[in-house]
């Protein structure tokens, strides 16, 4: 036998603690997410070999957050942030257990922002949306969204082809 019972038990405890759901900070309803919020962006390498440094990922996330503040207003007419169904060729692209909606935003190596008329390129940051609903007089949530919490979940690359496919960029 390669492991004794104590080692197996300890390994099981570590695995369970690592996989446990975590509460969103500041949520009064105590809801949990099956993916932890990313404390800070990481350097990533895309399938074509392009590497995004931490500063570039941070800039892309900042551009997304600024646009996301206005994206759901009736007067907002830009294409991005755009809903992303997290499927490419029938497979999940971003490894997340979140049931929240995902949105994509173009990211550029030069840290520039995407604007209407600019080609979005092939790289996207992906963010998970967690709506905060207005509560009625009894404290129950209504259908009215009063704010949205966004969690960065990763970067993906558009690899094109007939399936219009995306692949995840992994930590470098």
What radius of gyration, in Å, describes the C-alpha atoms of the chain? Answer: 19
Instruction: Kindly give the pairing relationship between strand 51-52 and strand 165-171.
Output: unpaired
- Per run of 10 residues, the mean pLDDT along the chain (length 172 residues) is 54 46 40 42 91 93 90 87 86 78 93 87 92 93 90 89 81 86
Check residue 42 and report its DSSP letter: -
Q: What is the pLDDT of residue 28?
A: 40
Name residue, tokens 């570039």.
56
pLDDT at 161: 66
pLDDT of 138: 94
Q: Which residues contact 58 (CB under 8 A, 6 or more apart)?
A: 40, 41
Superfamily of domain 40-171: Microbial ribonucleases (3.10.450.30)
* Ramachandran area for residue 47 (φ above 0: left; ψ -120 to 50: alpha; else beta): alpha
């Amino acid at each position: 036998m390669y492991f004794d019972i104590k080692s197996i038990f300890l390994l099981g405890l570590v695995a369970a603690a690592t996989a446990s759901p975590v509460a969103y900070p500041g949520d009064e309803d105590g809801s949990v997410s099956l993916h932890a919020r990313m404390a800070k962006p990481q350097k990533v390498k895309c399938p074509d070999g392009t590497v995004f440094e931490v500063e570039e990922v941070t800039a892309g996330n900042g551009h997304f957050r600024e646009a996301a503040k206005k994206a759901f207003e009736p007067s907002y007419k830009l294409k991005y942030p755009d809903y992303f169904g997290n499927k490419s060729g029938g497979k999940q692209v971003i490894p997340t257990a979140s049931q929240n909606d995902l949105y994509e935003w173009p990211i550029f190596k030069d840290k520039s922002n995407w604007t209407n008329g600019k080609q979005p390129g092939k790289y996207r940051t992906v963010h998970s949306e967690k709506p905060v609903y207005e509560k009625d007089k009894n404290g129950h949530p209504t259908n009215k969204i009063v704010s949205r919490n966004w969690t960065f979940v990763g970067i993906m690359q558009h690899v094109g082809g007939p399936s219009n496919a995306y692949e995840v960029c992994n930590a470098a």
